[in-house]
């Protein structure tokens, strides 16, 4: 059975998104592509929110891509059940999973090579959350008034 993963990008991340979609298809993932579908200028929150909604509802992984990786991850992190981690090296993506139980990976299309991006995706989807001492910290991430 294929595992599902949501993906979305803005126009700056479109080309990288397409390459990641091809990579995931070859590795037995069922991709839910929320767009965008061209390099025409668009607003990154319009693509971050559907991916975040999907991840919140289904408890699965997501990948978001914009020029810097910042705006799209900020939008996703407005969702209570989302822990979106901006990564540009596989070690950062691995730590985001191991220590922070990140469920969405954000990539900076303008500042990462394809090889680095694919390494980040691979380690992100294959690394388990360690739990233990990290769980109490993860539990404190959603703001409580």
User: Quick one: CA dihedral 109, 98, 76, 19, positive or negative?
Assistant: positive
Can 84 be counted among the known catalytic residues? no
The residues near 73 (Cβ < 8 Å, ≥ 6 apart) are 48, 64, 84, 85, 86, 104, 106
Can 36 be counted among the known catalytic residues? no
Q: Would you state the structure tokens that stand for residue 10, as one six-digit string? A: 């803005």
Contact assessment for residue 56 and residue 47, using Cβ atoms and an 8 Å cutoff: no
CA distance 107 to 92: 11
Q: Is the peptide bond before 36 cis (omega within 30 degrees of 0)?
A: yes
**Cβ of 13: how many Cβ atoms within 10 Å?**
30
In the set 36, 49, 66, 84, the catalytic residue is 66
Tell me the catalytic residues: 66, 99
């Amino acid at each position: 059975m294929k595992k599902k993963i949501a993906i979305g990008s803005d126009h700056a991340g479109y080309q990288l998104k397409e390459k990641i979609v091809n990579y995931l298809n070859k590795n037995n993932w069922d991709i839910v592509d929320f767009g965008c579908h061209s390099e025409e200028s668009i607003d990154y929150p319009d693509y971050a929110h559907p991916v975040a909604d999907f991840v919140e509802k289904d408890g699965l992984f997501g990948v978001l891509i914009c020029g810097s990786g910042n705006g799209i991850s900020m939008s996703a992190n407005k969702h209570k059940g989302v822990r979106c981690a901006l990564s540009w090296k596989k070690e950062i993506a691995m730590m985001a999973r191991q220590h922070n139980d990140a469920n969405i990976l954000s990539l900076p299309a303008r500042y990462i090579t394809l090889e680095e991006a694919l390494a980040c995706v691979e380690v992100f989807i294959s690394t388990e959350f360690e739990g233990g001492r990290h769980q109490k910290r993860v539990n404190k991430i959603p703001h409580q008034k």
